[in-house]
Structure 1
Amino acid sequence: MTRVLGIHGVRNYKAADTTPHLGSARLRSDWLTALGPTASGLDLETAYYADLLRSEKQGEDPADEELALVEQWARAWGVDPSGAQGRATGWLRWVCGQVAARAGERPAVVEKSVKLFFPEVTRYFATGRSAVLERVKASIVQHQPDVVVAHSLGSVVAYEALHELADEVEVELLLTLGSPLALPNAIFHRLAPGPLDGRGVRPHGVRRWVNIADVGDFVAIPKGALARLFTGVEERPEITIAPVWPHSVLDYLKHPSVSGAIVERSR
């Protein structure tokens, strides 16, 4: 039985998650369903931290720090965000429209990606990092996984947590899905440990690191940069997980490339 620990990405808090245990149980059920027949050979648990990054405020314009991260994301797409005046909802919509035009995607899909992702990234680096890492590290130590599957912002959490636990755990496979780890300035240059000579490194306790990203995933950028900026990363060929929303963890988990990577973890 392969021990697997899932580390979720953004927007995973639900009102019914009155305790971390309940949140983890809900996610575990969703992940097992998405994995389908592959799940029969897995001892799967999920590390839940969504409650630590949720916001009580709804419907407000993005904060300055959040907009600064969006600006760096736009530049990674080759868009000059100074082309529109102001720095609030209208500016954000214009930036998303420019990225959508470059990517051949609907602006609404791009805007949804940005609105889901950057608020929690901002909170993680500003105030939530310590609490999130402590909870996730506790889950890793308790479960002692053979495989860590980390999606979206969860790949950032996994990277930092596994570095901190390098002398305590050994993981056969780190599988990152839709990862933004290579996003310059907004994430890459804020990692701990930080890049050395312009490169990150696979955590010492991790035997293999495989990265998978949908061709249209607006979070997993710059495209193909993970293997260039981090030592010891195997990039799988670009895949398509869903035509409408190319960042869902459940769609990633349903894809054969993900189940295949887990099954062949110690190749």
Structure 2
Amino acid sequence: MKDLILKRLKELETIHNITILYACESGSRAWGFASPNSDWDVRFIYVHSQDWYLSIDESKDMLDFAIDEHELDLTGWELRKTLRLFRGSNASPFEWLQSPIVYLDPYNFRSELWQLTNTYFKPRSMAFHYLGLAKNSSKKGLVDGLMDIKKYFYVLRPLLAAYWICHKKTVPPMEFALLLEQLKSEEALYAAIQTLVRKKVAALEGDLTEPVPIIQTFIQKQLTACAILAKDLSAEQAVSTPLNHLFRAFIQLSYVDNQ
């Protein structure tokens, strides 16, 4: 599958006259609980030629494609869009930079941007982002009293990310296993979630399970507790200067590379 993904990414570079700076896996395969029929969620960051940035009109700043017959979901963000969202502590680029499955990083982009994570990480906004995801998914997961197994993790993963931020005040890891380590001292809860992970990995899309009382209690308690803690977290916005330098460097790099 990796060869197909690399082939598709190379085709996109040619068709759209772009340079892909970074491409990785997102979604359940990167989070660590993929089902047998999980999609391949490929996310990439790209840059145009200099002329694109010197036009008076702003053009579309992302590439998004329908899932194909290979269950391949491809979405790309243009560099300026990515850096603007990164400046605002949008969770997606922070996660992509931590993906354990990297397809392309020819210019060391991941390392360059990762060095700025502490500068632009805003604990309050990211914690509330994750809490919002968890809360919305908790409402949608129940079907006739049963819980969609996939949705269970759409609640637990962002909730554990918010829990991490509220208690550690650092960027949360992308991988679920690392987030779960926070609960290792709560043996019964930890074991229950591990059991649910094993069930998720074996489940197909749409499979349901009985709600697990100890997990449900944790979810309801922490949705409230983390919301209270998040209010006191920092929301300071850093200046854009370092990101402007990085942006110009990669625009120039792309220009030189294409000569």
Larger radius of gyration: 2
TM-score, normalised on structure 2?
0.27
TM-score, normalised on structure 1?
0.26
Higher RCO, Cα 8 Å, sep 6+: 2
- Which structure has more helix as a fraction of its residues? 2
